[in-house]
Amino acid sequence: MSKDERLVRQITPKSEDFSRWYIEIVQKAELADYTPMKGMMVIRPYGYAIWEAVQRQLDRRIKETGHVNAYFPLFIPESFLKKEAEHVEGFSPEVAWVTIGGQEELEERLAVRPTSEAIIGFMYSKWVKSWRDLPVLINQWANIVRWEKVTRPFLRTTEFLWQEGHTCHETAEEGEAETLKILAMYKEFCETELAIPVIAGRKTLREKFAGAQMTYAIEALMSDGKALQMGTSHNLGQHFSKAFDIKFEDRSQTLQYVWQTSWGMTTRTIGALIMAHGDDSGLRLPPRIAPQQAVIVTIPASGWRETVLPVAEKVRETLRAAGLRVDLDAREEFTPGWKYAEYEMRGVPVRIEIGPRDVKNGQAVLVRRDLKSKETVSLEALPARLAALLEEIQANLLSQAREFVAANTRTASTYDEMKTVLENQRGFVQAPWCGGEACEDKIKMETMATIRVIPMDLDHVPVTGGCVCCGAPGKATALFARAY
């Protein structure tokens, strides 16, 4: 490949400037682009294809757990938001307002959906009358607007896409069970489909969703050592049902307020895929979520259109018939070397090279993106081998990510030890915490780290040692990290 061809896709090494590396991948892999409106992005076709894959796999799981999809309005009356004081206070700095419709000033301001608890709560108050109407298990795929001050494509933007589930239940126990079921579903989805290991746990009261009784979350560790919240599941208790008068006649013919949950995952997952798996050549997409699982690159030579191309086209159709997502790149205006760099940047899991010699020998060369290793496979064995290789790549990406998390999760028993780790090594820090907001605030102010979660697998383990900040008896083992 010539120098000019290398420059087409050259990116800053992630070890040199992680933020710049990230932005360059977003743009050069054609995932998204900036717009004239601050903080808003266009998700380009390749980026949207990844989001569609996320949607398909997550939507299937949501429906398998008994939920159905619906759609609610983008605009929410201001009076609806004000019905739950903690909720409106939590979102007030980020709300965008519509005050004029056409050329007339509106009688009441309309909020552009920052989240949908208010409008959905109003509708549920109309629909739920009896215990026979419960549970209500509804999800919607929608766009959200939050007027963020500092933005970055996919990670934090003024407008983003997500799914948000909103459910109603007869009892507090059913509401809590739903909250934890969704949390487990999110964890399984991230690890199975995205190959990103996550730690599930509950948020502190200071970090919980505005208006929630309890918030649970899954946290992932990016390859720069900063944490990223991948999804949240909120037990809303009866806060919103009381605010919106969502009552039902129970089995003893007594009026009760429903118990609610809400939960969501966003296009932030695409940012996570970049930062968890990407390298200095670009994306490394897990095969289960990749729009293209493999691409066939033809090696041109004299008469290749009559010899190589027909074989490559037949291979493509054979692999597609086997249920694999495979494309063929037979463009003549680009050299094979340029194409190799192009598909490495785009993170296609496997490259299939077919040239005159391969046709003569009835074979193809497979190059896996995760390890950049090559192997030669007969065309007859190609469908089975490619399918197996994709599973190997999926497992390897998860294994590599798990090894990274294990190597970058440390314990701290003193405050000085915690500060040293956060400053010099980053990653997750497990440490005892007294449960006090004063210590939580001090740690955040002095180290820029927050309590990401109280891990589920540590929540019921006896805490040894005093609070890492104040030395008082520890009430929980918390997971600290600097985060996006």
CATH, residue 160: 3.30.930.10
pLDDT at 71 over 70: yes
In this structure, the answer to whether residues 181 and 259 fall within a common structural domain is yes
At 360-387, the pLDDT tens digits run 999 999 999 999 999 999 999 999 999 9
pLDDT of residue 303: 87
Last residue of a domain, one of 277, 308, 342: 277
In this structure, the answer to whether residues 62 and 181 fall within a common structural domain is yes
Its domain, for residue 331, covers 294-404
Q: How far is CA 217 from CA 32, 139, 140, 281, 475, in A?
A: 27, 18, 19, 31, 19
pLDDT at 5 over 80: no
Arithmetic mean of pLDDT, 225-234: 98
Domain-located, residue 198: yes
Examine residue 383 and say whether the peptide bond preceding it is cis (omega within 30 degrees of 0).
Answer: no
Give pairs for 19-23: CB < 8 Å, separation 24+.
19/152, 21/278, 21/280, 22/152, 22/271, 22/274, 22/275, 22/278, 23/152, 23/153
C-alpha distance across the termini of the chain, in Å: 37
**Rounded distance, CA 229 to CA 221, Å?**
9
**Rounded distance, CA 130 to CA 476, Å?**
40
Number of continuous H segments (helices) and E segments (strands) in the chain:
15, 23
Domain-located, residue 287: no
pLDDT at 462 over 70: yes
Arithmetic mean of pLDDT, 1-25: 78
pLDDT of residue 449: 98
Last residue of a domain, one of 247, 277, 307: 277
Domain-located, residue 28: yes
Q: State the pairing for strand pair 104-112/227-237.
A: unpaired
Where residue 458 falls among pLDDT bands split at 50, 70, 90?
confident
In this structure, the answer to whether residues 169 and 232 fall within a common structural domain is yes
Residue type, 348: V
At 190-202, the pLDDT tens digits run 999 999 999 999 9
CATH, residue 425: 3.30.110.30
At 267-313, the pLDDT tens digits run 999 999 999 999 999 999 999 999 999 999 999 988 899 999 999 99
State the total domains in the chain: 3
pLDDT of residue 2: 47
pLDDT of residue 10: 83
Copy the structure tokens of residue 354.
């077919």
Total number of residues shown for the chain: 484
Classified as helix, coil or strand, 380 is coil
In this structure, the answer to whether residues 390 and 419 fall within a common structural domain is no
Copy the structure tokens of residue 448.
């820029």
In this structure, the answer to whether residues 227 and 132 fall within a common structural domain is yes
**Rounded distance, CA 238 to CA 143, Å?**
26
User: Phi/psi at 394 (nearest 5 deg)?
Assistant: -55, -50
At 7-17, the pLDDT tens digits run 445 899 999 99
- The DSSP annotation for 64-113 comes to HTT-EE----SEEEHHHHTTSHHHHHHHGGG-EEEEEETTEEEEEEEEE-
pLDDT > 70 in the chain, percent: 98
In this structure, the answer to whether residues 354 and 374 fall within a common structural domain is yes
pLDDT at 479 over 50: yes
Other CB atoms within 10 Å distance of the CB of residue 266: 23
Domain-located, residue 453: yes
In this structure, the answer to whether residues 221 and 256 fall within a common structural domain is yes
pLDDT at 421 over 60: yes
pLDDT of residue 110: 97
pLDDT at 1 over 60: no
Sequence-distant (≥ 6) Cβ neighbours of residue 173 within 8 angstroms: none
In this structure, the answer to whether residues 40 and 169 fall within a common structural domain is yes
* Residue that wins the pLDDT comparison between 91 and 109: 109
At 426-444, the pLDDT tens digits run 999 999 999 999 999 999 9
Arithmetic mean of pLDDT, 245-263: 98
Task: Report the mean per-residue pLDDT for the chain.
Answer: 95
**Rounded distance, CA 167 to CA 161, Å?**
20
pLDDT of residue 284: 98
At 319-368, the pLDDT tens digits run 999 999 999 999 999 999 999 999 999 999 999 999 999 999 999 999 99
Q: How far is CA 268 from CA 220, 313, 430, in A?
A: 12, 36, 25
* Residue that wins the pLDDT comparison between 91 and 390: 390
In this structure, the answer to whether residues 362 and 463 fall within a common structural domain is no
Phi-psi region of 448 (alpha: psi -120 to 50; beta: other; left: phi over 0): left
At 137-189, the pLDDT tens digits run 999 999 999 998 899 999 999 999 999 999 999 999 999 999 999 999 999 99
Last residue of a domain, one of 404, 420, 445: 404
In this structure, the answer to whether residues 362 and 413 fall within a common structural domain is no
pLDDT of residue 448: 97
Domain-located, residue 3: no
Arithmetic mean of pLDDT, 77-81: 92
Domain-located, residue 286: no
In this structure, the answer to whether residues 266 and 346 fall within a common structural domain is no
Classified as helix, coil or strand, 346 is coil
Q: In what helix (H) or strand (E) does residue 62 lie, and over which residues does it extend?
A: helix 45-64
Domain-located, residue 1: no
pLDDT at 6 over 80: no
Domain-located, residue 282: no
pLDDT of residue 4: 39
In this structure, the answer to whether residues 388 and 425 fall within a common structural domain is no
Structural contact between residues 228 and 277, judged by C-beta atoms closer than 8 angstroms: no
